[in-house]
Amino acid sequence: MSIQSEDVLKIAHLARLGIEPEQVESYASDLSNIMVLVEQMSQVDTSDIEPMAHPLDQSQRLRTDVVLESNQRDALQKNAPAIEDGLFLVPRVID
């Protein structure tokens, strides 16, 4: 499977990445190479192997349900570009 320029633009848009027009071709070719590698791996017969969700062969540790955090709003909002009434302000979003 080869990646076309449109695919690169779509992926970049979904990931909110800005790509210069002159870079599109080279990304398409790099990503296509990766896909070649993936296809190569797909050749291996894995029919009797259970898919794994995580490389670590362990299960999730759980946390007791207690409130441990206190209000750190002032500190956490120090690097926000705009705040008001305790809210983060962002460019207007319309649904």
The contact set with another protein (CB under 8 A) reads 10, 13-14, 16, 53-54, 56, 58-69, 71-73, 76-77, 82, 84-95
Shortest separation between residue 53's beta carbon and another protein, angstroms = 4
Nearer to another protein by Cβ, of 1 and 54: the residue is 54
Which CB atom, from 10 or from 46, has the smaller least distance to another protein? Answer: 10
Q: How far apart, in whole angstroms, are the C-alpha atoms of residue 35 and residue 1? A: 6
Residue 36 vs 80, nearer CB to another protein = 80
Q: Is 9 exposed, middle or buried (0-12, 13-18, 19+ CB in 10 A)?
A: middle
